[in-house]
Structure 1
Amino acid sequence: MDGRTSLANETDVAGNLDAGGGDLFRAIANSIDQMVWSTRPDGFHDYYNDRWYEFTGVPAGSTDGEGWNGMFHPEDQEKAWAVWRQSLETGEPYRIEYRLRHRSGAYRWVLGRAQPIRDASGRIARWFGTCTDIQEIVDAREVLARSRDELEALVAERTADRDRFWTNSRDLIVLVDAQNVVRAASPSFETILGHPPRTLVGLSSLDLIHPDDAPSSSEALSEAFEKANLTDFENRYRHADGSYRWISWHTAREGDYVYGYGRDVTAARCQAEELATAQDLLRQAQKMEAVGQLTGGVAHDFNNLLQIITGSLDLILRRLPEDETRLRRAATNAMTGATRAAALTHRLLAFSRRQPLQPRPVEVNRLVTGMSELLERSLGATISIETVLAGGLWQVEADPNQLENAILNLAVNARDAMPDGGRLTIETGNSHLDAGYAHHHAEVTPGQYVLLSVTDTGTGMDAQTLSKVFEPFFTTKEVGKGTGLGLSQVYGFVKQSGGHVKLYSEPGQGTSVKIYLPRRLTDGAQEEEEAAQIVPGGSQRETILVLEDDEAVRAYSVEVLRDLGYGVVEAGDGPAALRILAEQGERIDLLFTDVVLPGGLDGAEVTRRARAALPDLKVLFTTGYARNAIVHQGRLDPGVALLTKPFTYADLATRVRDILDAP
């Protein structure tokens, strides 16, 4: 057959399903699994195969014409008709998915397809279509779609978690490649270091690191790429304001990148450093306190010995004939040596804060000006002295003699540090030490202070020397040229006066000692020094009770007082003195008592008990070591009179007369 005959035969079959070719078509259509249907050119359904009726369960012929549309799910009917009409109008193949009612009453998804058959002239002769049950495919597709949605949701959630971690992390997170180039930086870089993350991308990871930390940081990063992850590696990163922050890093390598996780530990390091500093200050304070206790005790015993020596020499000098030149010279030399020894013990007591101070209002500018001649004589012609005295300087309350002695000690130390000459500058000013400063310096109370600064252009000191300068007997001078007690005396006096002393020095850059004395909050006139008096005597009608446990010291005191003309009664301990006072109370005009006595009954307690019976009893204390019994916070208790050991014949005579003559 030629092609025209074949086409004509197919057209005949397609056009007339009732002809013999129709039987063949129906046989073929009923042999396949799909539902097969056919319509006339105008879309009128006039054929369904057996599969259609098996699937739908409807009677034969019930779905001819437009009855088939009633088999669709109500939600799909409009769409199915619209697509079918479109195909009928255009001749385009028909394809649609819709839900078809199954014989069970449920709807199942099917795929409907149809093709037009045309005659030789090109006109549509018939439509042939199929319906394929795709419910399982749709179910699988829905499962797949649901899984995809769930996966996408999970991925989105994980991504959001990661983004939240990245965005909200309070630690630094950075991604660095093998060339040390920053590929990503978390927003926390701006929060912690002030650098927007976008400005860091493309920079070297070492660009913000402190220059001193760059070598170790570069080595650590190489190790993070090549060997092992870093743990608690610390370096300093530059903040946008120019300061540096300490960052502790942990790293993790992934492929050709290293993730760095950095925590700002600046505050923790500062706290650790402050703790270490505080511990050092505490250890230093404890050491100084221990040394002070030791030196104070030594000074007490030594002062008693010196009292015996100087007292005996004083008596010898008073009683030697004028023509005994040789003996007088020897006694004078011995007295000079004893006086120098007394000065040493005085400095020991100053360091241990056991010297009894007699503070009064002091104008520091006036005191410095009054020392100008003394300083010039002490320093020599090779050293120029410059004073920079602040106007409106506050008053302080301090022992003027001890303050003058402290300035002189500092000046002499400065002279020794400038063997080839130089410049000494004494400067005053009002100052305020705040709580921040006090936090870093032991025994400093925040408040207003008067600053007295003594600065030289000498050789200076290194850090190791600076740490020991206030310790007694420590000196950098040659043997025989210094006792090592000058700065310790300054230290003790300032601390005992409630002040603060700070020393600054560098080798070759000179030294500056700054003394801070508390401001006197009430104005008061500075007292003038009392004029020297002639040694006054006494009368046998005036009786003095001498209470002293050291026999030699007691013997000297008794002898001097009798030599001055007083009547004297003596006692070696507190109970004995109280018995005498009980027996002769009305006859005793003055109790001259040591502070430190054996047996637990000191001079202060004896005085308290005695005045319970004799309220008008006059008392003069003596001691080589200020105790809390009569001295508190470096000051004598109100109304307490004190004569420190070692004292001279004239000292004792004058002090006793003053007290007896007082109202």
Structure 2
Amino acid sequence: MIWLVSSGKADYDENGKPWRVVGIVQDITLRKESEERLRQTRILIRLMADVVPAMIAYVDRELICHFANKAFLKSCGLPIEKVLNRHLSEIVDESLFRKMVPCMKGILMGGKAFSRQEKIEQNNQVKYWSINYIPHTDDSGIVRGCFLFILDITEAQLALEFLRESENRFASLVKSTTQIVWVGSLEDKEPKIFILYSQNEEPKLKECFYSGDYEKALKELKKAAIEKKAYEAEYRIFNPQKQNYHKYLLKGFPVFDREGNVREFIGTMTDLTEKELAEREIRFQANLLNMVNQAIITTDLKGRILYWNKFAEALYGWKFEEIRGEQILELIIPEEILSIAKEITAEVAKGSAWSGEIQMKKRDGSKFTASCELSLATDERGEPVVIGLIQDITDRKEAERALQESLEQLRQAQKLESIGRLASGIAHDFNNMLTAIRGYSDLALRQLKDDNKALRHSIEEIRKAAERSSSLTQQLLAFSRRQIMQTKVIDINQIIKETVFLLQHLIGENISIVVFPNSKLRFVEADPSQLSQILINLATNSRDAMPNGGTITIETEDVFLDEKFIARDIEAKVGHYVKISFKDTGHGMDSETIKHIFEPFFTTKPVGAGTGLGLSTVYGVVKQLNGFITCESQLGKGTVFEIFLPLSEKALSAGEETYEEEEKPKIKAEKGLVLLVED
């Protein structure tokens, strides 16, 4: 099969009729085959780039991304369509972009390829990336773009840092000890034991051993290496300070090579006497237990306290001397879960370890959540004892709960944002169709003769239905924040006062409205009609929630939202706001209902009793005014909506000064008819 491309031109006779066609036919098979090979090559390159663990991307001189592999897309958390042909600043984190810009500029100005290590924070985790910047030059040597070859070296970097930290700790530990630190090397052809560190100058260790003990020590060291176990032995070693032989305890632990063989031993030498050994052991154990940041408690199998460390004293409030021999469960376990705690300790006494979270109490009666680990052990006499490791995790649990609430708020905001984009698209398309319906209805009415009343009535009903449907699209646009607003600086107290007059006729005489205009600054940038619509929608819901009457309380006040507040609400920003509290005494809502109240078409009313767009419209208008809204409700106790609108900059600069009201248009008095409707 061959590929041909043809082009031609018709010739016309004197009468304008075509009589021949002159053209060229060209064989482009080689070009098509080259294009196919190029396409296959690109596919292969894409497949190869997607299987490597490195993150790969390519940007041009304008920092527009033209290529990204799967690893790069995954690290950014974006689909391919939101990465390709986008500026790099829209793809990567802002802090990382600022670090990358100077590097890429150097490459694009003719610099050579280089790599740079960056420390970044991604998803609340610290990561280390090695970013390679590689120039892309054309045949003339001009740099056309920059390849980014990124490796995640977090594990290697953390391992290196851990190794450095371990080495520093070991060096500090060795230097801080009062003991002699020794090393038994087995790598050389001639094994040897030598001193690694001592506070005093020591002669060669081999010369200090009692006759024959050095060879014995090496023999036992080799045996311990074969068995891959710790080394411990006592030898007579010359003490240069005392100028005689002392009995020393050598303790060492094996150091393994990559093959799992013992490479060397490292340990300490302790100058022993029976009394010193006993005292040292007791002090060591006591200090070790008191240094840990956990309560360590030991009891016998009957629950009587045998040991209680310093951290336990601080945690519970009792000194060890006060509670020695007391029953542990009655002391620290609340009475309501005492039976559960007894079942747990009974299982532990049989040999089963237990770990979990449990409520405990302190000396002052306050309760806290504890992380507890219980296990069975034996004391120095071989008697079974229960050892408990306990830590107060109340703050951690509270932090986890707060984090979960923040994540839930984020998910809800993202869901409403997605619904808003969908509603906006539907509303625009639907509105276009309604425009056509209204237009053709108007044309039909104009062309229709007066004697066809039945058809005229039907077309008028069609137009009315289109008008009603148009109002629904306006509510959808309000929710999606696409509605056009006529914003200006308004006195929010005055708007509420004017709207309340209308609300009283709307909600009926059995519901009273109380207003507390406490906001002094009170000026915000908003559309007065939309702000009134917010109050009307909220009042309508409150009316339906109070069929037997009740009270609506509307209150305004000036607030400043700080960092502590916005940590609880992800939609809030630091700044000055006017808060509108709208409270009713209705039947309230449960927590599950509150999660969905701002979603379009969600309603708890019977079919036909509501569109489900009232609160979604409120949400959209508030968001379009750069504010946010919260809701709290309890069944049987009513509902409170709190609307936060940013304070106008004019109000902030003027403090509590009063603005001159806009001049109201004068109404010319004329004769007319007033229609009064009373329900």
TM-score range, shorter chain: 0.5 to 0.7
Give the partner amino acid of 1:249. Answer: C
Map 1:406-421 to 2 at 5 A. 406-421=534-549
| Structure having greater relative contact order (Cα 8 Å, sep ≥ 6) | 1
In structure 1, C-alpha distance between the alignment counterparts of 2:415 and 2:509, rounded to whole Å = 40
Corresponding position: 1:155 with 2:278:
yes
Corresponding position: 1:504 with 2:638:
no
Q: Could you list the per-position Cα deviations for residues 44-73 of structure 1 after superposition, in whole angstroms to 9, with x for gaps in the alignment? A: xxxxxxxxxxxxxxxxxxxxxxxxxxxxxx
Map 1:24-173 to 2 at 5 A. 150-173=273-296
In structure 2, C-alpha distance between the alignment counterparts of 1:489 and 1:243, rounded to whole Å = 46
Give 1 or 2: higher strand fraction.
Answer: 2
Which structure has the larger Rg over C-alpha atoms? 1
In structure 1, C-alpha distance between the alignment counterparts of 2:362 and 2:525, rounded to whole Å = 47
In structure 1, C-alpha distance between the alignment counterparts of 2:274 and 2:666, rounded to whole Å = 104
SS at match of 2:329: coil
In structure 2, C-alpha distance between the alignment counterparts of 1:243 and 1:395, rounded to whole Å = 47
Corresponding position: 1:223 with 2:351:
no
SS at match of 1:258: strand
Equivalent of residue 176 in structure 1, options 280, 299, 318? 299
In structure 2, C-alpha distance between the alignment counterparts of 1:356 and 1:219, rounded to whole Å = 66
Equivalent of residue 237 in structure 1, options 360, 384, 396? 360
Q: Could you say what the CA RMSD is over the residues aligned between the two structures, in angstroms?
A: 3.4
**Which residue of the partner structure matches residue 51 of structure 1?**
none
**Which residue of the partner structure matches residue 372 of structure 2?**
249
Q: Could you list the per-position Cα deviations for residues 326-361 of structure 1 after superposition, in whole angstroms to 9, with x for gaps in the alignment? A: 676655544443232122111111211222233211
In structure 2, C-alpha distance between the alignment counterparts of 1:352 and 1:318, rounded to whole Å = 36
**Which residue of the partner structure matches residue 32 of structure 1?**
none
SS at match of 1:371: helix
In structure 2, C-alpha distance between the alignment counterparts of 1:218 and 1:494, rounded to whole Å = 55
**Which residue of the partner structure matches residue 385 of structure 1?**
513
SS at match of 1:522: helix
Equivalent of residue 416 in structure 2, options 288, 291, 313? 288
Q: Could you list the per-position Cα deviations for residues 597-636 of structure 1 after superposition, in whole angstroms to 9, with x for gaps in the alignment? A: xxxxxxxxxxxxxxxxxxxxxxxxxxxxxxxxxxxxxxxx
Pairwise CA distance, 1:277: 2.9
Map 1:267-306 to 2 at 5 A. 267-306=395-434
Give the partner amino acid of 1:427. Answer: E
In structure 1, C-alpha distance between the alignment counterparts of 2:346 and 2:663, rounded to whole Å = 76
Pairwise CA distance, 1:247: 2.1
In structure 2, C-alpha distance between the alignment counterparts of 1:471 and 1:482, rounded to whole Å = 14
In structure 1, C-alpha distance between the alignment counterparts of 2:613 and 2:323, rounded to whole Å = 59
In structure 2, C-alpha distance between the alignment counterparts of 1:269 and 1:392, rounded to whole Å = 40
Q: Is the 8 A contact 2:246 2:272 kept in 1?
A: no
For normalisation by structure 1, the TM-score amounts to 0.53
Map 1:415-564 to 2 at 5 A. 415-523=543-651, 527=662
Judging changes above 3 Å, is the alpha-carbon distance between structure 1 residues 388 and 158 closer, same or farther for their aligned structure 2 residues?
same
Q: Could you list the per-position Cα deviations for residues 284-323 of structure 1 after superposition, in whole angstroms to 9, with x for gaps in the alignment? A: 2222122111111000101112222334445667888999
Judging changes above 3 Å, is the alpha-carbon distance between structure 1 residues 507 and 258 closer, same or farther for their aligned structure 2 residues?
same
Judging changes above 3 Å, is the alpha-carbon distance between structure 1 residues 239 and 474 closer, same or farther for their aligned structure 2 residues?
farther
Q: Could you list the per-position Cα deviations for residues 541-562 of structure 1 after superposition, in whole angstroms to 9, with x for gaps in the alignment? A: xxxxxxxxxxxxxxxxxxxxxx
Give the partner amino acid of 1:176. Answer: T
- Structure 1, unaligned stretches of length 5 or more? 1-141, 534-663
Map 1:276-425 to 2 at 5 A. 276-313=404-441, 333-425=461-553
Give the partner amino acid of 1:375. Answer: L
In structure 1, C-alpha distance between the alignment counterparts of 2:321 and 2:365, rounded to whole Å = 19
In structure 2, C-alpha distance between the alignment counterparts of 1:507 and 1:486, rounded to whole Å = 21
In structure 1, C-alpha distance between the alignment counterparts of 2:445 and 2:501, rounded to whole Å = 32
Pairwise CA distance, 1:183: 4.2
Aligned residues: 391
Pairwise CA distance, 1:373: 2.0
Pairwise CA distance, 1:191: 4.1
SS at match of 2:299: strand
Pairwise CA distance, 1:370: 0.4
Judging changes above 3 Å, is the alpha-carbon distance between structure 1 residues 319 and 455 closer, same or farther for their aligned structure 2 residues?
farther
Q: Could you list the per-position Cα deviations for residues 492-526 of structure 1 after superposition, in whole angstroms to 9, with x for gaps in the alignment? A: 11122221211111111111111111112313656
Q: Could you list the per-position Cα deviations for residues 350-377 of structure 1 after superposition, in whole angstroms to 9, with x for gaps in the alignment? A: 2112222332112221111101221011
Pairwise CA distance, 1:481: 0.5
Q: Is the 8 A contact 1:360 1:526 kept in 2?
A: no
Give the partner amino acid of 1:499. Answer: G
In structure 1, C-alpha distance between the alignment counterparts of 2:445 and 2:370, rounded to whole Å = 76
Q: Is the 8 A contact 2:493 2:522 kept in 1?
A: no
SS at match of 2:642: strand
Q: Is the 8 A contact 1:176 1:205 kept in 2?
A: no
Q: Percent identity?
A: 35
Judging changes above 3 Å, is the alpha-carbon distance between structure 1 residues 243 and 503 closer, same or farther for their aligned structure 2 residues?
farther
Judging changes above 3 Å, is the alpha-carbon distance between structure 1 residues 143 and 521 closer, same or farther for their aligned structure 2 residues?
closer
Pairwise CA distance, 1:148: 12
In structure 2, C-alpha distance between the alignment counterparts of 1:528 and 1:395, rounded to whole Å = 17
Judging changes above 3 Å, is the alpha-carbon distance between structure 1 residues 165 and 148 closer, same or farther for their aligned structure 2 residues?
closer
**Which residue of the partner structure matches residue 175 of structure 2?**
none
Pairwise CA distance, 1:396: 1.6
Pairwise CA distance, 1:243: 5.8
In structure 1, C-alpha distance between the alignment counterparts of 2:333 and 2:623, rounded to whole Å = 43
For normalisation by structure 2, the TM-score amounts to 0.52
Equivalent of residue 187 in structure 1, options 310, 314, 321? 310
In structure 1, C-alpha distance between the alignment counterparts of 2:283 and 2:483, rounded to whole Å = 74
SS at match of 2:354: coil
Equivalent of residue 205 in structure 1, options 329, 332, 353? 329
SS at match of 2:579: strand
In structure 2, C-alpha distance between the alignment counterparts of 1:429 and 1:492, rounded to whole Å = 22
Pairwise CA distance, 1:415: 0.5
Judging changes above 3 Å, is the alpha-carbon distance between structure 1 residues 200 and 363 closer, same or farther for their aligned structure 2 residues?
farther
Q: Is the 8 A contact 1:361 1:527 kept in 2?
A: no
Judging changes above 3 Å, is the alpha-carbon distance between structure 1 residues 367 and 260 closer, same or farther for their aligned structure 2 residues?
same
Judging changes above 3 Å, is the alpha-carbon distance between structure 1 residues 200 and 416 closer, same or farther for their aligned structure 2 residues?
farther
In structure 2, C-alpha distance between the alignment counterparts of 1:155 and 1:362, rounded to whole Å = 83
Judging changes above 3 Å, is the alpha-carbon distance between structure 1 residues 212 and 344 closer, same or farther for their aligned structure 2 residues?
farther
In structure 1, C-alpha distance between the alignment counterparts of 2:620 and 2:320, rounded to whole Å = 56
